Structure 1
Amino acid sequence: MPLSPLEFQRVFFVYETASAPVLSGLTASFGRGWTGIVGPNGCGKSTLLRLACGELEPTSGGIHRPGPVAYCPQRTDRPPPELQEFLSTDEPRACVLRGRLGLQADWLTRWNTLSHGEQKRAQLAVVLARQPAVLALDEPTNHIDSQTRDLLADVLDDFSGIGLLVSHDRELLDRLCRRCLLMSLGQVVLRSGNYSAARAQQQAEEASARAQRERLQHELRRIEREVSNRRREAARADKLRSKRHLDKHDHDGKGAINLARNTGKDGVAGRRMRQLEGRAAQAGARVDQVQVRPILKMGVALGGERARRPVLLRLDAGRLALGSDRWLVHPELVIPADARIGLTGKNGSGKSTIVRHIVDRLDLPAGRVVYLPQELDAERGATAATELRKLPDQVLGETLSHISRLGSDPRALLETAQPSPGETRKILLAMGMALQPHLIIMDEPTNHLDLPSIECLEAALADCPAALLLVSHDRRFLERLTRIRWHIVREERDSCVEGLHVH
């Protein structure tokens, strides 16, 4: 069935509290299949999705939407309005999606006890059931374990409409996307191919532009040196042709100077100088015509130090309620001062539950623990933005420097009252860098972060002397940073019991 494209026509968009537009004259056409929307936190990816689906309207310009639209946001604070109907309907597609994504009939009534991964699966299933012409997904694999990620990729691969996908999941972008919209520092470029192909093309073009600019700058410097040399020569010649240094009775010297002037040597030199200056101006213009994206200085250092006491926490063996007659059983757990612990398990297995239980039982001085929970709601984001603006000038300057080196524009964050989830994480990370914690606990720390920021965080944690307890589905992240694995699996003898095992 024919489907006209989703079209942006000279779209400008600026938030009321911001001084600069998020989108400046964007013109783009999106056809069937998936388009990856890629860029640093705060560059406008989520704004673009909300504009595409009509949740926001452009400040100027127009958007043509070819049919029904659906938007799946990053946050999972509230259940989708249609969840109850979706869970109870006998409609075939809903039944298939419930089965493929593992939804259960009571998920709405126990929404607040679901893991964030389970909430994300429910959110995605509801929007997929609508079968919209345009489907916009904002970080759909956040919180989702590797097995569910594969199931989700299969489901999304079957979508036959126009898909817009914001994600930091390189594997998902490469598998699904036919084209990628790369957003950075006010520049928006639509490229064909999956993420790896589009990124390689971008890097090759940027390298070529930098090389061309360097060649032109070299030529400009050569011409400017020649102009400078000619000016010095002209100054010496002017001095020699001046009669002021001659004795008033030196008629021969005055005659020679008059002869040089009358033969036009001064005019020839002047024309040559003007020609050189014109060539220098043209070379400068050619340099300015070659646009090169600036290379941001990235990389941060996390504050922290090794605790003097050898053990930070010793938790007796026990069990924790997971709701609906389910339990998490764990052995004695020890967090030594030099811990590098990775906590893994499927969605809903109790990872965040055991982390909160540990945080509540820590006996460390104030400021000696940095805890970053899995999900930061909109209220926490607004509070973080307010706390940032209230920092003393010196601390604020250092914090903004850290935010910049995590890949976000600190000036834009100072203007916003509601930062994105990724920006909220960067604010909290940057403020935490001023502390000297003995223990850093992070529950899915790579969620919502863009790819360069993930790499920066990875490098910072690798060099941090504090103890680490990290919950993540990112295998590469944990392999680099952890030595001990706490893994939660369902016990074979009792399907209502999850068991935590130390490796």
Structure 2
Amino acid sequence: MTHDIAVIDRLASRSYLLHRVHDDTGNHTVMDLHEGSWEDIERQVDERDMTAQRQLAQAKSETKRLVAERVQRREKTRRAAAASMRVPDRHDHDASKRKKLAKGGLDAGVSRNVARLEGRIAAARQAQEGFVTETKRRGGVVNFTVEPSKRHELMHLEPGTISFENGAYSGDTDDREAAYGAKMEGEHIRIGENGGKSAMLAIPGISVGPRDRILVTGPNGSGKTTLVNALMNTLDPDIPRLVIEQNADDPQHLLDQLAQLDGTDRQEALGYFVAQNGNVHAVLEGGELSPGECRKLMLALGLVQKPQILILDEPTNHLDLSSKRALAAMLYAYPGALVLVTHDELMIEAMR
């Protein structure tokens, strides 16, 4: 049982994927069998969801068309009925005869047409409700209210070393020879295995601009958090930032924070929450939040404060695969600077 796509790609020949769906009886968890790599599974899931959404849209469109036709027919019937009520000249015997015939034909025709049309509308609605679609939890495109910083650079470290004992940074180049190193590849900082258990981490020069996406990866215990903390020491206190560490906050504290927001900010926070595939019903009903839902709410509440830089330590902890994909899409669209500590392959690929 795993959320790790690297494990799926390396070990699995068949995968059972649990996901939430919606049908005419409500929301349910279902299990589908897939074969192949995670890339194959993603393609199959996307094709399935697109087909279901397309069919659902067509059924909704047909229902809407039939309802509009019903309105037109009722109006036409009303006009015809009004015309039949007009009193003809008592000397015009032909007109009186036509009125009687029209009245009888109108009553019979209306009954037949209404019955047929109502049956078609009922059938269209039944077809619409019969479609099984992914539960509507992802919010699609995120409309951020965040403006990137106007500064040329937000954080900066010259080449040097960082002590594991106290996190202190040193620019002494002599110390670098005694330390194992981190390498900078574009916006990706890779930290190697500390095989010799060195007390220091050698780092290259690191600069974080107002729109940069910095990935920090490496084995557990290699110094990723130590490096990020040293970077944060160079961040001007006046720059709005959001820092989320690995441990989730208390669920009730998060719900209380949400309740204290005004209406506009609360709607904005819920929008960010839904964009991460969050279960908004659990939040609005004050239900018990899982660690994954807590992490989503922490990020959503923080984004309302309009931070110009996000610093996230293993943000995919406790998230299922669908939520990881939603988070990756949202972070990719975030307009400010991002420093992301992760070992999750899906997140790494999404940020490139």
Q: TM-score, normalised by structure 1?
A: 0.51
**Equivalent position to 2:301, from 428, 431, 443:** 431
Match of 1:241 in 2: 84
Retained in 1: the 8 A contact 2:269–2:300? yes
Distance 2:199 2:334 in 1: 34
Match of 2:30 in 1: 189
Retained in 2: the 8 A contact 1:407–1:453? yes
**Equivalent position to 1:299, from 128, 134, 141:** 141
**Residue identity in the other structure for 1:305:** P
Deviation at 1:314, TM superposition (A): 3.7
Provide the secondary structure at the position in 1 that maps to 2:148.
coil
Alignment CA distance shift 1:448-1:366 (3 Å): farther
Q: TM-score, normalised by structure 2?
A: 0.69
**Residue identity in the other structure for 1:273:** N
Match of 1:62 in 2: none
Deviations 1:265-294 (A, max 9, x none): 345424433442443344245334422426
Retained in 2: the 8 A contact 1:385–1:424? no
**Equivalent position to 1:389, from 237, 245, 259:** 259
Deviation at 1:457, TM superposition (A): 3.9
Alignment CA distance shift 1:350-1:212 (3 Å): closer
Provide the secondary structure at the position in 1 that maps to 2:277.
coil
Match of 1:422 in 2: 292
Superposed CA RMSD in Å reads: 3.9
Deviations 1:179-210 (A, max 9, x none): 33323462222223358577666655555545
Alignment CA distance shift 1:171-1:363 (3 Å): closer
**Residue identity in the other structure for 1:371:** V
Provide the secondary structure at the position in 2 that maps to 1:341.
strand
Aligned residues between the structures: 311
Question: 1:24-423 to 2 correspondence within 5 Å?
Answer: 165-167=1-3, 169-173=4-8, 175-176=11-12, 177-184=14-21, 186-194=27-35, 206-213=49-56, 216=59, 220=63, 224=67, 227-228=70-71, 230-242=73-85, 244-258=86-100, 264-293=104-133, 296-300=138-142, 301=144, 303-308=146-151, 310=153, 312-314=155-157, 317-321=160-164, 326-331=198-203, 333-338=205-210, 339-359=212-232, 361-366=233-238, 368-373=240-245, 375-377=246-248, 380-416=250-286, 419-423=289-293
Alignment CA distance shift 1:236-1:204 (3 Å): same
**Residue identity in the other structure for 1:181:** L
Distance 1:463 1:200 in 2: 22
Retained in 2: the 8 A contact 1:316–1:332? yes
Alignment CA distance shift 1:198-1:352 (3 Å): closer
Distance 2:70 2:42 in 1: 41
Deviations 1:149-190 (A, max 9, x none): xxxxxxxxxxxxxxxx252x2343453355333234622222
**Residue identity in the other structure for 1:272:** R
Provide the secondary structure at the position in 1 that maps to 2:304.
coil
Deviations 1:69-101 (A, max 9, x none): xxxxxxxxxxxxxxxxxxxxxxxxxxxxxxxxx
Alignment CA distance shift 1:302-1:380 (3 Å): farther
Higher helix proportion (structure 1 or 2): 2
Deviations 1:44-71 (A, max 9, x none): xxxxxxxxxxxxxxxxxxxxxxxxxxxx
Distance 2:110 2:287 in 1: 60
Alignment CA distance shift 1:198-1:236 (3 Å): same
Q: 5+ unaligned residues in a row in structure 2: which ranges? A: 167-195
Distance 1:350 1:212 in 2: 50
Deviations 1:346-397 (A, max 9, x none): 22112122323443x2452256222222x214x5444333322322332122
Alignment CA distance shift 1:307-1:253 (3 Å): closer
Retained in 2: the 8 A contact 1:303–1:432? no
Alignment CA distance shift 1:450-1:266 (3 Å): same
**Percent identical:** 25
**Residue identity in the other structure for 1:388:** L
Provide the secondary structure at the position in 2 that maps to 1:433.
helix
Retained in 1: the 8 A contact 2:275–2:327? no
Retained in 1: the 8 A contact 2:156–2:206? yes
Distance 1:225 1:315 in 2: 68
Distance 1:207 1:331 in 2: 45
Deviations 1:291-337 (A, max 9, x none): 24265432333724235264634468344135997512334754343
